[in-house]
Amino acid sequence: MTHLDRLEATSVHILREAYREFKNLVMLWSIGKDSTVLLWLARKAFFGHVPFPLMHVDTHYKIPEMITYRDRMARDWHLDLIVGENRSALAAKQTFPDGKLTRVECCRSLKSEALKHTLSGEWPRLRLDPTSGRLEPEKKREGFSGAIVGARADEEGSRSKERYFSARDQQSEWDVGDQPPELWKQYKTDFAPGTHVRIHPLLDWTELNIWEYIDRENIPIIPLYFDRGDGTRYRSLGCYPCTSPVESTARTVPEIIEELRSGKFADIAERSGREQDKEDGGGLETLRRGGYM
């Protein structure tokens, strides 16, 4: 088995374990390369099917192409798509681009808070209607006790300490110091009522692995990751006010792999274009304890 085969088998095992143990399971989909690989791995695990809904938290500051791509993939792969948002904060213009919040506060409000209340079913959600092909308000909103997330350990310090199955309390808080053990493919799949679990099948993958796998499997990825003529491309996708493209002429997946392995990005952190990290002492820790992905 190659290292990609091993990574794939581990992720598939974790996904099946989650599906076996959690009755109301959801997968978070940020439209980026990692969670799209995660979605592909779900199709691997379940032989072409995705037997749980996908959830996207829309901050309304996403790069517009991301939304187009999201809706196209949802149709092509017959996905059960749920979309959530922080409607009141957006209506009151309580955001960083409106000058009312810092970047970190804005992330907390439009992402962490929106995610928490969308997962629990408290806030309004939209769900893709398979017959009309449109997003319709969801009438009966169930809460999810298991959320599959595409976090990778190599992204930054706090993520490197995550478990594959990571418990969160009712306030979505993470007790980093007292995490349950994981060994011999056995994870925390029993949990007290009111708590929920985040499942991280991509924990052992690196940015390079992600691209190698996209290349091997020929996964359709959003073109924002490629240079389309202006000598720049996105290396990490987020909201446009806080994410800048990097200078790069990589136009294909193999060119990105080469760039990461021995080229100009071999020793530059992936999230270097993400402004909120810098505000948070470089660790994302404050955000993550409060439920940031």
Partner 1 sequence: MKSPTPTEQISIVMAGHVDHGKSTVIGRLLAETGALPKGKLEQVRELCRRTAKPFEYAFLLDALKDEQAQGITIDAARCFFRTAKRPYILIDAPGHIEFLKNMITGASRAEAALLVIDAKEGIQENTKRHGYMLSMLGLRQLSVLVNKMDLIQYSRKGFETIRDEYRAFLGRLGIQPVSFIPVSGLSGANIAARSPETGWYEGPTVLEQIDAFHRKEFPETLPFRLPVQDIYKFTEQGDDRRVVAGTIETGTLSVGDAVVFQPSGKTSRIKSIEYFNGPVKQTASAGEAPGFTLDTQLYIKPGEWMVKQGQPPLQVGTRFRVNLFWMGHAPMIRDHAYKLKLGAVRSPVKLVEVLSVLDATELGTVANKQQVDRHDVAEVILETPKPVAFDVVGEIEQTGRLVIVDNFEIAGAGIILAGVTTRESTLQDHIRAREIAWKNSAISKSERTATYGHGAKFVVFTGADEAIGEGYARALERKLFTLNYKAYYLGLENVTRGLDADLRSEGDIRDDHIRRLGELARIFTDSGQIFITSLSNVDDYDLQTLTLLNSPHEILAIHIGENRFVEFPPNLTLAAGSLLEDGVDAVCDLLKQKNVILEYSI
Q: Does 194 bind partner 1 (CB under 8 A)?
A: no
**How far is Cα 143 from Cα 23, in angstroms, rounded to an integer?**
11
CB 239 within 8 A of CB 59: yes
Name the burial class of residue 147, with classes exposed (0-12), middle (13-18) and buried (19+) by CB atoms within 10 angstroms of its CB.
buried
> Can you tell me which of 98, 190, 228, 247 binds partner 1, judged by CB under 8 A?
190
Q: Which residue type sits at 187?
A: Y
- 76 part of the interface to partner 1, by CB under 8 A: no
H-run or E-run covering 82: strand 81-84
Taking the complex as a whole, the smallest distance from the CB of residue 182 to partner 1 amounts, in Å, to: 5
* Count of chain residues binding partner 1 (CB under 8 A): 69
Scanning residues 154 to 183, which ones bind partner 1 (CB under 8 A)?
A: 154, 156-158, 160-161, 163, 176-177, 179-183
Q: Angle at the Cα of 63 (from 59 to 69), degrees rounded to 5?
A: 100
CB of 14 to partner 1, least distance (A): 10
CA-to-CA distance for 125 and 194, rounded, in angstroms? Answer: 21
Nearest CB to partner 1, comparing residues 52 and 96: 52
Q: Indicate which single residue of 68, 93, 102, 268 sits in contact with partner 1 (rule: CB under 8 A).
A: 268
Among 94, 249, 272, 279, which residue sits at the site for partner 1 (rule: CB under 8 A)? 272
Q: Which residue's CB is nearer to partner 1, number 120 or number 286?
A: 286
First to last CA, the chain: 31
Which one, of 91, 141, 85, lies nearest residue 113 by Cα? 85
Euclidean distance between CA atoms 149 and 270, whole angstroms: 18
> Smallest gap, in angstroms, from Cβ of residue 33 to partner 1?
16
Regarding 3 and contact with partner 1 (CB under 8 A), the answer is yes
Candidate segments 93-101, 104-112, 230-238, 266-274, binder of partner 1 by CB under 8 A: 266-274
Closest CB to partner 1 among residues 117, 198: 198
* Closest distance of CB 186 from partner 1, Å: 5
Kindly indicate which of the ranges 57-65, 143-151, 203-211, 239-247 contains the residues binding partner 1, using the contact rule CB under 8 A.
Answer: 203-211
Beta pairing class for 196-199 and 165-168:
antiparallel
CB of 125 to partner 1, least distance (A): 22
Nearest to 111 by CA among 168, 172, 170, 164: 172
Shorter beta-carbon distance to partner 1: residue 65 or 204:
204
Residue 145 structure tokens: 């006790």
Q: How far is the CB of 65 from partner 1 (least distance, A)?
A: 24
The DSSP annotation for 136-172 comes to: EE-SS----SEEE----TTSSGGGGG--SEEEE-TT-
User: Which of 115, 285, 291, 292 is in the footprint of partner 1 by CB under 8 A?
Assistant: 285
Tell me the C-alpha distance between 55 and 149, whole Å: 10
- List residues binding partner 1 (CB under 8 A): 1-6, 8-9, 12-13, 16-17, 19-20, 43-49, 51, 78, 153-154, 156-158, 160-161, 163, 176-177, 179-186, 188, 190-193, 203-204, 206, 208, 212, 215-217, 252-255, 257-258, 261, 267-269, 272, 281-283, 285
